[in-house]
Structure formats: C-alpha cells, structure tokens
Amino acid sequence: MHHGGIYEEEITGKAYDTSLLKRFARYVAPYRLSVMVVLFILPLVAACKLAQPWIIKLAIDNHIITGKLAGLENIALAFLGILLVESLLSFLEVYLLQSVGQRVMSDMRSELYRHVMHLPVSWFDRVPTGSVVTRLTSDIEVLGEMFASGIITIIGDILLLFGIISVMLWMNLKLSLVTFSVLPVLLYVAYTFRRRMRKSFREVRARLGNMNAFLNECISGISIIQIFNRERDEERRFSQLNASYRDANIPVIFWDASLYAMVEALSSIAVALIIWYGGGEIMAGFLTFGVLVAFIQYIEKFFTPIRDLSAKYSVMQGAMAALERIFALLDTPGADQKSPLPPCDKGGCPTGRGDLLPLIEFRDVSFSYQSGNDILSGFNLTVHRGERIAIVGESGGGKTTITRLLTRLYDIERGSIFLQGTDIREFDVKQIRRRIGVVLQDPCLFAGTIEFNICLGDELARQRVRQAAAAVGADRFIDRLPHGYEEEVRERGSNFSVGEKQLISFARAVAFDPEILVLDEATASIDSTSEQMIQAGIKGLMEGRTSLVIAHRLSTIHDADRIITIQHGVKIEEGTHEELLRSGGIYSRLHHLQFGEM
C-alpha cells in the first residue's frame, strides 16, 4: 500500500482542546464584532424558546381548563409573535456565523498556503502531496463547519439548558428532581463517547490524507500506469485505501448513532417519569395540568440540544483532529529562516569584499539526503564572475545537489558556500534566489497564458517577456500560435511539446535577468532539432552572466571555461574541454561513449 504508516504519529498524539481553541481564537479575533452580535442574540433566542411552554401553561390553566376563552386569542398572538422573533433572530445568528466562518476559513487557508510556499524542499520529500492538499481543503472546511454549527451554538445550547433547569426548578422542585434523575447517566455517556470519538476522528483524517496522496500520485502518473498496464493493480491499491477509509468511519458512525440513541432513550425515560409522577400529583391536587404539559415541553427542549450533541461532537472532534494537523503544519519551520553559522574552517574565512573575491565558492561542502550516505563529500569549487562552468558526471553523483545547495533549496551540513565572500546562510533566501536563475531538466508550466508562464506575474519580468523569448528562440513558435503570447497553457503544459515547454522555461530565466544562471541538464529533454535552434539563444543567455551548467549532453559544454567532473560526490577532474580530453580521464571516457570516438 502506498504511503503506509506515514501519519501514525498524527493518530496517536495527545490533543489538548483548550490550547487548540485558544490558538484558533486568533483567527476569529478580526471578526469579534459579528461574534459579539451573535453572542448577544443567543440569550434572546433562548428566552424565546423558554417563553413558549410557559405561554402554553398559561393558556391551559387560565383559559382552557377553566373555560374562560376571553383573552385566549391574545395569548395565541403572543405565542405567534415569539415564534416570529425567534425565527428572525435565528436567521441573523446563522447568517453571521456562516459569514464569519467563511472569512475565518479564507484567512487560515491563505496563511497555510503562504506557509507551505516557504517550507523547505526536504519537507516535501517526506510528505505526500495529497496530505498537503487535504490540509488546505477538507481540513479547513471542517473548521468552517465547526464554527458555523458547533463552537458558538454550543454556548446558546448551554444558555438554553441552564434556563430550562432554572424555570423547571422555579415551577416545581419535586417534579424537577424526578426529571433530572437521568442526568448523571447522561453526563457519563457524553464523557465516555467524547473520548472514543476523538480517537476515531484522528484515524479518519489520517486515512483520508493517505487516500488523497495516492490519488494525486496516480493521476500525475496516469500515462505510466496505462503504458505498463497497471490499471488493475492500482485499482486494487485504491480499493485497499478506500476500504481503510471506510472502515475508519465505521466507529465514528457507531459512536454517533449510539450517543443519539442513548440520549433519545433517556429523554423518553424522563418524559415517562414526569407523566408517572406528575399524574399522581395532579390527582392529589398538588399540580396543575398546564404545569405538567409545560414540563413535558421543557424536557423536549432540554434534550433536543443534548440529542444534537452527538452531531456536534462529530463536528467538534473532526475539527480538533483537523486543527492538530493544520497547526502541526504551521509549526513546521520554513526555509526562510537563517541557519546558524558554524565556526570557520582551519583555512579561515574570507574577510574582504568586492570583485577580487570569487563570486561563488564551495569550501569543503558535504551533504547527505539521508544520514550516513553523503552525496557530496568535501566538495570544493571556485567560480569567478562571468565564468561558464560545466559540471559532468554519473547519475546520482551529486551534480544537481550542487545547484540545490547554492539556491538553498537544501542547507549544507558541513562546510560553507560563499557568495562574493559572504556565507550564503547570512543572506535571506529571497536575496539569493533573486540573483540566481534556474532552468531544470523537466520544465514546469502553470495554467495560464504563455506570457504569465514567462514572467510569473512579476511586473519587471513582464516588460522583458518578448525580449527574453527572442533571446532563446521561443518567439519563433510563439508567434505562430493563434493567440501568440496570450495562448492558454493547459495543465502541466500538455498542449506543448517538451522542447517548446523548455524554451518557455529558458525565456523565463532570461526575463528575470539573473546574475547567476544555473542550467540543470536543461537540454536533456530537447530533440536535436530544437537543440540546434536554441544553442545561439543559450549563448546569448549566458552572455555577461556567471553560468553553472549541469550537462548530460557533452556537445553543449565544449566552449565552457572550465569543466568539472565529479564522481560519488567528489571532484575528480577540472579543466577545459581539450585539457580533459588529453588527460584520458573520466570526462574523456564519457566523451568517447557519447560520440563513439576511439
């Protein structure tokens, strides 16, 4: 099963409702006025509900039993007026709660999205995309439901319950005590069910995340699944995850139905006790029929919010599980934070500044994605301003890792990287990335226009879109499109060839006018015709810029100022194309393999 066990720590962790709700209150604070209006409305609604049985009691005892119909119409009108007022107040309460809930969800979703955008790439290596999507969508929706029908309305329910208890005690103490004899059992049931439903809801949210992660993975790789005829196998895997999610919901349904049934049964028992005891009191002349009817109605109103408590428990417990996951994500440190600087190596730290210093310097850099398995080991590299440096080597040898460390997608573990004499960990991440343009092997396009995909919404880059496209030769195919630069790009650029998508990503790098250019096997996916077309564009792109080229096709780096060969994370060779060919080392062998030379 895909992603098995990823969320186990989220299922077993202990939750603290109070601390979660206090933290959630920060998002509600901007809308405190609307919440205060609702809190003002709640006791008015409760008062309307409390008045209705009392009015019925007056009608029965003062008019119906005595046969005095005069004035009965006024009581009926008063009853109708109270119902109308209750309806209007309830409408305003629900409208305000739903509106505030939507605004709170929007704010939380925006903050969560901003935070996700600044998380380190290493975090995404560990967490499936489906889990992140679940937190941004369904987890947030659960919070909106909690706010609209749970957390605030519970206050109204509590007011109503205390009001009913007070009125019943005032009307008849003995009959009230008989009615409340079922409350200890009710409180025990509610407490027991609350604990059990919390655990079940954590399991439900975790398994939903697993299923979403699997769906995202399958939809992204649908072509591979079909090419290798793995549809049935993936259907089986999805059935397992789907069944797991279904099974996780069964305990929730069981406890939900059980709580509802128990409350319904206790409510009926309470009514039976009132009829049994109250009937005897009426026969003895100690109780009026109107009081008995009012008590029965109060009992129904008393147990209605408690009966609904099962549904509200479902909402609240689901929301608590969602809050745990959302705040856990928000508490994940972002990549923007500056890393602590280690002491300088024995070679000393650069003290000067200016053009005399190398623009880029890797000094004894070691890094591993998994502890104990170094991808780079004691790597050293000096790059001066305006140089074109090519890096070649076997797959998995650490070439791409060099560019990831330079752009601080990952932070180095040992050693240092200097940018014009300053350790890159002293810079804000955004400062570094403004100076570096990156073109990857697999071009990433977004839904929108070609113009947007080149400038990504940046106004300065937008002014250079056409110039950038011309620099890399992308304008040749863009100008032939029906809508030119306004041509729509479908999801993942499915309406363009691989070569065209790569040309757009080349134009993107030019439009942002970086000081340092990184090409990470950027021509590996382009056919020979497209490669010839963009070679001049690449040279124009590199002109006046410091360039790092991770190369698979050695034909693209013959004119590099220096070529670095790395193997198992260690620099093996360094020199020009001619020098390395004469040396007969690894680069020479790679060149012979690609071009069939002997």
Q: Do 44 and 89 contact (CB within 8 A), yes or no? A: yes
In sequence order, the 6+-apart residues with CB closer than 8 A to the CB of 591 are 554, 581, 597
Q: Give me the pLDDT at residue 598, please.
A: 43
Say if residue 494's pLDDT is above 70.
yes
> Whole-number mean pLDDT of the chain?
79
Query: What are the distances in angstroms from CA 128 to CA 122, 123, 211, 216?
Result: 12, 10, 10, 9
Q: Which residue has the higher pLDDT, 197 or 392?
A: 392
Range with the poorest average pLDDT among 18-27, 100-109, 464-473, 528-537: 528-537
Residue 8: band (very low, low, confident or very high) from pLDDT cuts 50, 70, 90: very low
Residue 236: band (very low, low, confident or very high) from pLDDT cuts 50, 70, 90: confident
Range with the poorest average pLDDT among 66-70, 145-149, 465-469, 531-535: 531-535
Query: What are the distances in angstroms from CA 475 to CA 417, 462, 503, 534?
Result: 37, 15, 9, 11
Q: Give me the pLDDT at residue 88, please.
A: 94
Q: Rounded mean pLDDT of 229-240?
A: 84
Say if residue 7's pLDDT is above 50.
no
pLDDT in tens, 113-144: 888 888 887 788 777 777 788 788 888 888 87
Amino acid at site 522: A
Q: Which residue has the higher pLDDT, 512 or 8?
A: 512
pLDDT in tens, 385-428: 888 898 888 777 788 888 888 888 888 878 899 988 888 888 88
- Range 556-563 contact pairs with CB under 8 angstroms and sequence separation of 24 or more: 556/523, 556/531, 557/390, 557/392, 559/388, 560/388, 560/389, 560/390, 561/387, 561/388, 561/389, 562/387, 562/388, 562/389, 562/390, 563/389, 563/390, 563/391, 563/392, 563/587
pLDDT in tens, 38-96: 888 988 988 888 888 888 888 887 878 777 777 788 888 988 999 999 899 989 988 88
Sequence ranges of the domains in the chain: 29-330, 360-595
Tell me what percent of the residues of the chain surpass a pLDDT of 90.
3
- Report the candidate in 197, 32, 161, 166 with the shortest Cα–Cα distance to residue 104: 32
495/456 Cα distance (integer angstroms): 19
Q: Give me the pLDDT at residue 85, please.
A: 93
Copy the structure tokens of residue 2.
């895909």
Q: Rounded mean pLDDT of 449-476?
A: 86
Residue 33: band (very low, low, confident or very high) from pLDDT cuts 50, 70, 90: very high
Residue 171: band (very low, low, confident or very high) from pLDDT cuts 50, 70, 90: confident
Q: Give me the pLDDT at residue 356, please.
A: 64
Q: How many angstroms separate the first and last alpha carbons of the chain? A: 49
Range with the poorest average pLDDT among 30-34, 81-85, 531-535: 531-535
Q: Give me the pLDDT at residue 528, please.
A: 61
Residue 85 sits at the vertex; the CA angle it makes with 81 and 90, to the nearest 5 degrees, is 145
**Any idea how long the chain is?**
598
Q: Give me the pLDDT at residue 2, please.
A: 43
Say if residue 16's pLDDT is above 50.
no
110/104 Cα distance (integer angstroms): 10
- Report the candidate in 532, 546, 548, 564 with the shortest Cα–Cα distance to residue 439: 548
Range with the poorest average pLDDT among 150-159, 176-185, 460-469, 512-521: 150-159
Q: Rounded mean pLDDT of 337-362?
A: 56
Residue 351: band (very low, low, confident or very high) from pLDDT cuts 50, 70, 90: very low
338/530 Cα distance (integer angstroms): 41
Q: Which residue has the higher pLDDT, 588 or 189?
A: 588
CATH code at 360-595: 3.40.50.300
Task: Out of 3.30.465.10, 4.10.640.10, 1.20.1560.10, 3.40.50.1390, select the CATH number for domain 29-330.
Answer: 1.20.1560.10
pLDDT in tens, 316-344: 777 787 888 888 888 887 765 554 444 44
